[in-house]
Chains A and B, each alone.
Chain A
Amino acid sequence: MSEQLSGPTLAGVPCDGEIAVVRAGDYVNKLSGQRIERECLLRMEGGCRALVIDFKGTELVNSIGVSILLGVIDMAEQVGARLVFSNVSRHTVKLFELLGLTRLVALAESEEAALATLKEFSPTPSGH
Chain B
Amino acid sequence: MPAKTPKARRILARTAPELFVGRGEISRELAALASPKTGQQSVVLLAAPQAGLSELLRQNFDELFRQRGGATPIYFAFTRSDHATTAAARRFLQGFLTQLVAHRREDATLVAASPTLRALLDLVAPSDYEWVERLIQTFERAVGEGDERAIVRICFGAPQQAAARGVRTLVMLDDVHLVERLRGEVELGPEVAHAAVQSGTPFVLAGLRRRMLDILNGTASLVGLDSLRKIHLDKLKDADARALVEDLAQRHGVAVNDETRDLVVQQLESSPYLITALVEAAKTNNVELKSFRDFQSLYVDELMGGRVHRRFGSVLEEIAPSVTNRRSLLRVLHESASNVGGKSPVEVWMKRLGIDAVEFERVMRLLHMHELASFHATFVETTPGHVWRDFLRISYRLQVAAEPRALVVADTLVETLKRAPRTMARHYRREAALNLGDLMQRFDFDRVPASLLRYDRFARVYRGVARDEVLAGLETETDLIRLPQIVHAASCASFHPPMSQFCDEERCAVAHGFDTTSYADANEVVWIAAEVESKLEAGRALTELWLDRLEQVAHGCGFERARFWLVSREGFSADAAELLNEREAFGSCLEQLELLSARLAREEGEGARIAPADEFAIELPMGEDTELIAAHTVEQIARRMEFQPEAINQIKTALVEACINAAEHSLSTERKIYNRFRVEGDKLVITVSSRGLSVPMTVYENGAASTDRNGRDAGEGAKGRRGWGLKLIRTLMDVVEFDRVDDGTRLRMTKYLHR
Is A1's beta carbon under 8 Å from chain B? no
Is B336's beta carbon under 8 Å from chain A? no
Query: Contact check: which of B646, B652, B713, B722 meets A64 at CB < 8 Å?
Result: B722
Q: Which residues of A contact B628 (CB under 8 A)?
A: 27, 60
- Indicate if the CB atoms of A62 and B711 lie closer than 8 Å: no
Distance, CA A9 to CA B707, complexed state (A): 31
- Indicate if the CB atoms of B717 and A71 lie closer than 8 Å: yes
Is B725's beta carbon under 8 Å from chain A? yes
Is A10's beta carbon under 8 Å from chain B? no
Is B653's beta carbon under 8 Å from chain A? yes
- Indicate if the CB atoms of B649 and A68 lie closer than 8 Å: no
Q: Which residues of A contact B722 (CB under 8 A)?
A: 63-64, 67
Is B77's beta carbon under 8 Å from chain A? no
Residues 716-755 of B, flagged 1 when their CB comes within 8 A of A and 0 if not, give 0110011011001001000000000000000000000000
Distance, CA A64 to CA B719, complexed state (A): 10
Shortest distance from the beta carbon of B384 to any chain A beta carbon, whole Å: 66
Query: Contact check: which of A62, A70, A71, A104 meets B656 at CB < 8 Å?
Result: A62
- Indicate if the CB atoms of A95 and B712 lie closer than 8 Å: no
Is A29's beta carbon under 8 Å from chain B? yes
Shortest distance from the beta carbon of B144 to any chain A beta carbon, whole Å: 83
Query: Contact check: which of A31, A60, A71, A100 meets B653 at CB < 8 Å?
Result: A60
- Indicate if the CB atoms of A91 and B649 lie closer than 8 Å: yes
Residues 86-98 of A, flagged 1 when their CB comes within 8 A of B and 0 if not, give 0000110001001
Is B625's beta carbon under 8 Å from chain A? yes
- Indicate if the CB atoms of A63 and B728 lie closer than 8 Å: yes
The answer to whether residues A100 and B660 also contact, given A60-B631, A60-B652, A67-B721 and a CB cut-off of 8 A, is no
- Indicate if the CB atoms of A70 and B652 lie closer than 8 Å: no
- Indicate if the CB atoms of B707 and A100 lie closer than 8 Å: yes
Query: Contact check: which of A61, A62, A71 meets B718 at CB < 8 Å?
Result: A71
Is A103's beta carbon under 8 Å from chain B? yes
Query: Contact check: which of B650, B652, B724 meets A63 at CB < 8 Å?
Result: B724
Distance, CA A104 to CA B639, complexed state (A): 34
Distance, CA A62 to CA B631, complexed state (A): 12
- Indicate if the CB atoms of A99 and B652 lie closer than 8 Å: no
Distance, CA A61 to CA B728, complexed state (A): 12
The answer to whether residues A62 and B660 also contact, given A70-B721, A98-B728 and a CB cut-off of 8 A, is yes
Is A66's beta carbon under 8 Å from chain B? yes
Distance, CA A114 to CA B480, complexed state (A): 47
Shortest distance from the beta carbon of B548 to any chain A beta carbon, whole Å: 48
Q: Which residues of A contact B713 (CB under 8 A)?
A: 67, 70, 100
Distance, CA A80 to CA B122, complexed state (A): 111
- Indicate if the CB atoms of B646 and A60 lie closer than 8 Å: no
Query: Contact check: which of B625, B649, B653, B718 meets A67 at CB < 8 Å?
Result: B718
Mark out the residues of chain A between 32 and 74 whose CB falls within 8 Å of any chain B CB in the assembled complex.
Answer: 60-64, 66-68, 70-71, 74
Question: Which chain B residue has the least Cβ–Cβ distance from A92?
Answer: B649
- Indicate if the CB atoms of A60 and B656 lie closer than 8 Å: yes
- Indicate if the CB atoms of B724 and A67 lie closer than 8 Å: yes
Distance, CA A95 to CA B728, complexed state (A): 8
Distance, CA A57 to CA B282, complexed state (A): 91
Question: Which chain A residue has the least Cβ–Cβ distance from B720?
Answer: A67
Mark out the residues of chain B between 612 and 631 whose CB falls within 8 Å of any chain A CB in the assembled complex.
Answer: 625, 627-628, 631
Shortest distance from the beta carbon of B523 to any chain A beta carbon, whole Å: 27
Distance, CA A9 to CA B668, complexed state (A): 30
Mark out the residues of chain B between 594 and 640 whose CB falls within 8 Å of any chain A CB in the assembled complex.
Answer: 625, 627-628, 631
**Chain B interface bracket (under 10, 10 to 19, 20 to 34, 35 or more):** 20 to 34
- Indicate if the CB atoms of B718 and A27 lie closer than 8 Å: no
Distance, CA A104 to CA B705, complexed state (A): 15
Question: Which chain B residue has the least Cβ–Cβ distance from A61?
Answer: B653
- Indicate if the CB atoms of A63 and B657 lie closer than 8 Å: yes
Distance, CA A60 to CA B717, complexed state (A): 23
Q: Which residues of B contact A61 (CB under 8 A)?
A: 653
Distance, CA A102 to CA B652, complexed state (A): 21
Distance, CA A11 to CA B99, complexed state (A): 91
Distance, CA A29 to CA B623, complexed state (A): 11
- Indicate if the CB atoms of A99 and B711 lie closer than 8 Å: no
Query: Contact check: which of A64, A99, A104 meets B660 at CB < 8 Å?
Result: A64
- Indicate if the CB atoms of A91 and B650 lie closer than 8 Å: yes
- Indicate if the CB atoms of B711 and A103 lie closer than 8 Å: yes
- Indicate if the CB atoms of A68 and B718 lie closer than 8 Å: yes
- Indicate if the CB atoms of A104 and B711 lie closer than 8 Å: yes
Q: Which residues of A contact B625 (CB under 8 A)?
A: 27, 29, 31
Mark out the residues of chain B between 633 and 678 whose CB falls within 8 Å of any chain A CB in the assembled complex.
Answer: 646, 649-650, 652-653, 656-657, 660
Q: Which residues of B contact A100 (CB under 8 A)?
A: 705, 707, 711-713
Distance, CA A83 to CA B299, complexed state (A): 97
Distance, CA A46 to CA B721, complexed state (A): 27
Q: Which residues of A contact B712 (CB under 8 A)?
A: 70, 74, 100, 104
Question: Which chain A residue has the least Cβ–Cβ distance from B729?
Answer: A63
Residues 475-518 of B, flagged 1 when their CB comes within 8 A of A and 0 if not, give 00000000000000000000000000000000000000000000
Shortest distance from the beta carbon of B503 to any chain A beta carbon, whole Å: 53
Q: Which residues of B contact A74 (CB under 8 A)?
A: 712
Mark out the residues of chain A between 103 and 125 whose CB falls within 8 Å of any chain B CB in the assembled complex.
Answer: 103-104
Question: Which chain B residue has the least Cβ–Cβ distance from A95?
Answer: B653
The answer to whether residues A62 and B707 also contact, given A71-B717, A99-B724 and a CB cut-off of 8 A, is no
Question: Which chain B residue has the least Cβ–Cβ distance from A32?
Answer: B625
Distance, CA A61 to CA B625, complexed state (A): 12
Distance, CA A29 to CA B653, complexed state (A): 12
Shortest distance from the beta carbon of B109 to any chain A beta carbon, whole Å: 82
Question: Which chain A residue has the least Cβ–Cβ distance from B712?
Answer: A104
| Max count, chain B CB within 10 A of own CB: residue among A61, A63, A64, A66 | A63
Q: Which residues of A contact B725 (CB under 8 A)?
A: 63
Shortest distance from the beta carbon of A61 to any chain B beta carbon, whole Å: 8
Distance, CA A104 to CA B627, complexed state (A): 28
Distance, CA A62 to CA B652, complexed state (A): 10
Q: Which residues of A contact B646 (CB under 8 A)?
A: 90-91
Q: Which residues of A contact B717 (CB under 8 A)?
A: 71
Distance, CA A62 to CA B660, complexed state (A): 9
Residues 682-725 of B, flagged 1 when their CB comes within 8 A of A and 0 if not, give 00000000000000000000000101000111000110011011
Q: Which residues of B contact A90 (CB under 8 A)?
A: 646
Distance, CA A28 to CA B629, complexed state (A): 15
Q: Which residues of A contact B653 (CB under 8 A)?
A: 60-62, 91, 95
Q: Which residues of B contact A67 (CB under 8 A)?
A: 713, 718, 721-722, 724
Q: Which residues of B contact A27 (CB under 8 A)?
A: 625, 628
Q: Which residues of B contact A103 (CB under 8 A)?
A: 711
Question: Which chain A residue has the least Cβ–Cβ distance from B664?
Answer: A64
Q: Which 10 residue pairs spanning A and B have beta carbons closest together?
A: A67-B721, A91-B649, A63-B724, A103-B711, A67-B718, A62-B656, A71-B718, A70-B721, A63-B725, A100-B711
23 contacts between A and B (CB under 8 A): A60-B631, A60-B653, A60-B656, A61-B653, A62-B653, A62-B656, A63-B722, A63-B725, A66-B721, A67-B721, A70-B718, A71-B718, A71-B721, A74-B712, A91-B650, A91-B653, A98-B731, A99-B728, A100-B705, A100-B712, A100-B713, A104-B711, A104-B712
**A62-B656, A99-B728, A104-B712 given; 16 more Cβ-contact pairs under 8 Å:** A27-B625, A29-B625, A31-B625, A60-B653, A62-B660, A67-B713, A67-B718, A68-B718, A71-B721, A74-B712, A90-B646, A95-B653, A99-B724, A100-B707, A103-B711, A104-B711
Which residues on A are within 8 Å of B, measured CB to CB? 27, 29, 31, 60-64, 66-68, 70-71, 74, 90-91, 95, 98-100, 103-104
